[in-house]
Amino acid sequence: MRLIAIPLPPNLPVRWTKIHTKRVAALGAMTTQKQRSSYLKKHGSWGRLKKWLSNASGYKCWYCEAKSTRASFDVDHFRPKLGVTVNGVLLEGHAGYYWLAYEWSNFRLACQRCNRPENSETDNLHGKANEFPIQDEAHRCKSSAGLLASELPKLLDPCLQADCALLADGIDGEVKPAASIGTWEFERAKYTIERLGFNEWNTPESKRSAWQTLALLIAAVGMNTNQDVIDELKKYLSNDHEYSSFYRSAIGTHRDKAWVEALL
């Protein structure tokens, strides 16, 4: 997971401010969950920001860094808009963070495997969906009057550098918690890895396979400098390359070579 710096206003797409104002006003006038649900299902205007959000990450999923070649990305609501689940169980008495439904700061670009519920080969349920556990339910916000900063989400946020730093990429292609076992930070990282299925669907094997080719190139060059090899490695280190965090970590195992150190 790499830090995503959302391009702040006034860089929002044309007409979004007008759409936002209209949608928020309409939603604010509704008093029942049924009304809000019906309205949001018919007015998923956040899709208009998909290209804008894609540009921020080099057209990669903000969570797992995968590029979507056969299916379109989803615009995920970091805080779910219509109900919240914790470990798959619907949270009683919470209507979702509907007041954030059209707030661009609550949007995260997600591949369908990170966002939609799906069983893995081991029959474990993955996909964020409406999952949003926090450290202490007593601090859960139920209206726009609540203080979001007090919630402490369990799911890591790709828009926070401190959260991104809680994940480490192993040379084996797997994503691992970077914090010490037993800490809240470790639990957050472990939960995110498992819930979003970072190490499922042969993803580690795919990353290892590509890395083996790069490792051979580095070994062939040794301590010498080869511009062709440097240019090739730069492609994998680029922020917009798929799984670039992994490649930065893997290439970093060769820091004993001055030319590799210079790349990093």
Contact 189, 179 (CB under 8 A): yes
CA-CA-CA-CA torsion sign (41, 151, 115, 245)? positive
Name the pLDDT band for 10 (thresholds 50, 70, 90): low
| Cα separation, 218 vs 199, whole angstroms | 26
Name the pLDDT band for 72 (thresholds 50, 70, 90): confident
What is the model's pTM?
A: 0.93
| Cα separation, 3 vs 216, whole angstroms | 29
N-terminal to C-terminal alpha carbon distance within the chain:
17
Q: Mean pLDDT across the stretch 86-92? A: 92
Name the pLDDT band for 129 (thresholds 50, 70, 90): very high
pLDDT of the residue at 147:
95
pLDDT of the residue at 123:
62
pLDDT digit string, tens, across residues 207-262? 999 999 999 999 999 999 999 999 999 999 999 999 999 999 999 999 999 999 99
pLDDT of the residue at 124:
74
What percent of the chain clears pLDDT 90, i.e. is strictly above it? 88
Q: Which residues contact 252 (CB under 8 A, 6 or more apart)?
A: 260, 264
Domain ranges of the chain: 16-195, 203-263
